[in-house]
Structure 1
Amino acid sequence: MVPLASLMCLIQTSFFALNFDQDSPGYLFVILCILTAIPAGFLLLARSEYPEVTFWLACILVALLPFDSLLSSMAMCSLLARRADRRTSIRTCIVGTAVAVWSQLRDALQPADGSLWHLIFAKPYTGGGSGKPIVMLVEEPTIIITAIITALVSAAIAILVGLHIRSRARLRTANAVASAATSHAQSLANDLNNQQLADAIAAEAHDTLAHSLSLLALNASALQAEAARLGDSPEAQALSKKAEDIRKQSAGALDEAHAIIDMLRDPQKAWEQLAPSDETALTRESLDALIADTRNSGMTINTWIDIQQLSALDESIGKVAFRALQESLTNALRHAPGAPVSVELTAAPQSGVHMHVSNPLTDAAADGRAGAGLPGLTARVEAAGGQCRYGVDDRRLFHVDVLLPWRS
């Protein structure tokens, strides 16, 4: 488009130059017009970002200089395609059409030897460089009318093309909005279905799990009462203590079940409770508390800890490290109760954070498979730029090995 607009401006200016002698002041004006015509087409490069400015500058150039109307018509098409304001569109169509008519009519009114329209209707091999006087095949009114009609048709084509481009852009926008609305509606429908499923699960858990735990606590209380009737023998006291432990554990499990049921019924509250920002970071105090709690649950833990500059460790890495140790100890407690656990933990800026937890498998561990939390832990460690490996070796020892980068 840019080379074509410059070419047409140069052609019109070249024919216009034939009306002046080389020594006349008008010829100097033509030279300036030719120098302007060459970069005039590059004005269209700004039509996307500045369509109005481009259109008005193109109209001024075509109206004041002997340029072809193709430059202003292209600028008009671009402006109509990018501006949907009604007043702007009407003003653009009127001015653009008027400039196109004036450009072609100006050329048609020039003397025969300096007019492109006269050359089109001239007899072959006359005028121009043929050395013979130009002979017209039609009358002057025909040339003028043809030039005006051509200008009107070209302006109409530019207007229709611009409006077509605008309508297609509107259609794409409408399709994008409709697609976004459809996606949003589908997302809302999925959220509603998920919430209905969560409500159904919560109701089922309340009717079954909570009821079963309540019966377990009740039966433990009854067992404790029966044990009290057996007297003060060591066996009766041990049985009473076990029954009390079962009652407390079932009561705690019932509270946890109710908390989980509440989370299912209130997803927003659940997200707040499960947010990573609420997690504990790895510090000396949190590490000692976690190991002490694990030992209080009846597990034997052998630790080897070497941590340096732990206070300078990035909090997000510290949360992942603490979560990895917590998940490993919980996994051992759940799947290998009573088995001793070995914990090795090192943290230093040079080597990063390295944690290794191992425990022998017991009959309660079944086939030695890890808990369901370890795959999720692996994904989280890898997201933090670390590595997490776990599995059983030939000695039936289950290992969890985590390596995290040091970020301060």
Structure 2
Amino acid sequence: MSGDKAGRSSPVPAEQTPALFTGPRWFIPSALLHELDPDTTRAGRRPRRTARDWIVDFSCFLLAVLVGVLAAEAINDNPRVPLGLVVLDQVIGALACAAVWLRRRWPLGLAVALTAVTVVSDTAGGAGAIALFTLAVHRPFRYVAWVGGTGAAMAPLIYWLRPDPDLPYLVTVVLAVLLTVAIVGWGMFVRSKRQLMLSLRDRARRAETEARLRAEQAQRLAREAIAREMHDVLAHRLTLLSVHAGALEFRPDAPPAETARAAGVIRESAHEALQDLREIIGVLRAAEPDDTGRPQPTLAALDTLVAECREAGMKVSLHHRVTDPAAVPSAVGRTAYRIAQEGLTNARKHAPGTEVTVSVTGAPGDGLAVTVRNPSPEGEVPPVPGSGQGLIGLTERATLAGGGLEHGYTREGGFEVRAWLPWGPHGTARHRPPAGSGPPCA
């Protein structure tokens, strides 16, 4: 489990988990069962006792000794018990008190053994009670029920063999049974509290891990969006640079006016590309969107894009049939702008000299349709390297906006990109296109 603190023991493998853990696990993961049962061995070695463990174990040992001493005094004052039995009882009680130190390693075995020992030794009663409490804390209830029930059932026999000189027989048996039930209940309460604390701790760790993963995923998605934006912006600018630089290279005898115009386009495109790149790098460094930069283009900026392409020497025919471009939602308008921009960039690279047709139609409630079409280029076109990531990015953009995009060659040999984007009746996105309005593949 990720997010564990340093020094915490690693989860116990399934093949090393004792069979005693097959009881009711509730919501406790296997990684927490080891913390709940510290006597579990790992790699053939018991975990070392902490300072708190030593204090608790020593306190339990002292309590067992104190109860044994009180029981030994009561036996010494009973004239009906022979001296030999008194000595034997105290020896057995001393051994039982010493066995308390083994309660973490063998809680079930120790509880069973001390339950049988208490039948013949009064001084072992304290050690037996501590062993039963330890069993209730570290093992499921079915084991506690068997051992505790056996001890309660043997109480009438014990006090029949060794009756208490000060209390009636029935009162002694009832008190012994109530004491057993109290010890078991206390131990189960401690176990439930530990389970709750461990579960809350595990949930907190899971919540921290999930929050970190969500933050990383959000950051990754934001960086992917920035990278997509970088491709859409810089591809257009750098294509203009490439086209006009190539024109200057292959036409050194061009008129001065045309050379100056191409140089101006190169300078302006380089300046715009550097400014866009600077803004995107600034966003990456800040790890969050920068609202102080230039506004993102929307559908209203489509006329400027077409004018810029015409100044660069492209033949572009724009059919803008949206009466109020400003009413288009900003996200939808920006997606439509990027689709048109990428279509013009691809046409400039792969079909130079052809007339590109850009068509934008739509209305609130019907959606927004964007089409970029160019005919087949005449003559031989030098191959231009490309990875096709631009069209993939456009398809993702359209899908995320709730629409769709298709592209392909037409029957005449040209290329066409068609997209449909949602435009709700009140400027909101509608995520289901009307029947027959999706972008057909040409």
- With normalisation by structure 1, the TM-score equals 0.46
Larger radius of gyration: 1
- With normalisation by structure 2, the TM-score equals 0.43
Instruction: From the two aligned structures, give the one with the greater helix fraction.
Output: 1
